[in-house]
Amino acid sequence: MTEGLLLAFGLTLMAGLATGIGSVLAFFTTTTNTKFLSISLGFSAGVMIYVSFMEIIVKAQDALVESMGNVLGNWMTVGGFFTGILIIALIDKFIPKQGNPHELKRVEEMNEKEATKNPDLLKMGTFTALAIAIHNFPEGIATFTSALQDPSLGIAIAVAIAIHNIPEGIAVSIPVYFATGSKKKAFKLSFLSGMSEPLGAIVAYLVLMPYLSDMLFGFIFAAVAGIMVFISLDELLPAAQKYDEAHLSIYGLVGGMAVMAISLLLFI
C-alpha cells in the first residue's frame, strides 16, 4: 500500500512539474515547434478520451453496480460522469478571461519585444498561473486516484496530463517575463501553478481516502472520466488545432488512442 501511495504521489508530482518544463523551454528555445505541439496535444487528448470511456468509466460502473445494484449503479455512473464535467465547466466559467489558460503563447513572442514594466502583463501572467492552478487541482485528484487504483492507468494519465501542462507553462512565463524582465520570477510562478496538482493528490489522500468505499470510489472515478473528457474536448483539441498543420492533431489523437488501447491489452 505504501509503495502504491508513493507511486501515485510521484506520478502526480511529475505531471505538475511539466508546467515548469514549459517555462524552461520558453527561455531556451527560439521557435515553437508547431508540428510537435499539435501532435502531442492531440496525442494527449486521444489517451484521455480513450482511457476515460474504455477503462475508467467501466471500472466506475463495475464498482457502483456491485455496491448499489444494476439500475441505481448505472444511474450513479452517469451522474458521476456529468458531475465531473460540471465541476470543470464551472471552473472554466469563473476564470477571468485574461487569465484563461486556453490562450496559447508562442516561444517567438519572447524575442519580439523587450521586457517592459507593464503591470497589465504581470496581472495577466498572474491570472493565467491562478487559472492553471485551479485547473490542475482536479487533474491532480484524477491522476492520484487513477494511479492508486491501477498503476499502469495512472502512468498513462500522468503522461497525458504532463504533455498538456507544457504549453500551459509557456503561457504563464511569457507575460510575466515581459512584465518583469526576470526569467526567475516567470519560472517561479509557472512552477507554483503546477504544484496545485500534487496538492490535489494530498487533499484526495487526506479527505477522500478515509471514507473510500466501492460506492465513493466508483462515483469519483466516473467524475474523473468526465473531467478528462471535458479537458480533452474543451482544451486539448482546440489548442492542438490552433497549432495544427494538415490534420496533425487528429493523427495525434488517433495515435494516442492506439497507444492506449495496445497498452491496456498488454496488461490484460
Annotated binding site for Fe(2+): 136, 139, 165, 168, 197
Q: What count of residues does the chain have? A: 268
User: Rounded to an integer, what distance in angstroms lies between the CA atom of residue 242 and that of residue 235?
Assistant: 11
Q: Annotated binding residues, as ranges? A: 136, 139, 164-165, 168, 197
Torsion over CA: 196, 105, 85, 230 (sign) = negative
Exposure pattern of 73-94 as b/e (b: 16+ CB <10 Å)? beebbebbbebbbeebeebbee
What residue type is 110 in one-letter code? Answer: M
d(CA 240, CA 132): 17
Task: Give the residue numbers of the binding site for Zn(2+).
Answer: 139, 164, 168
Q: Classify residue 206 by its DSSP letter.
A: I
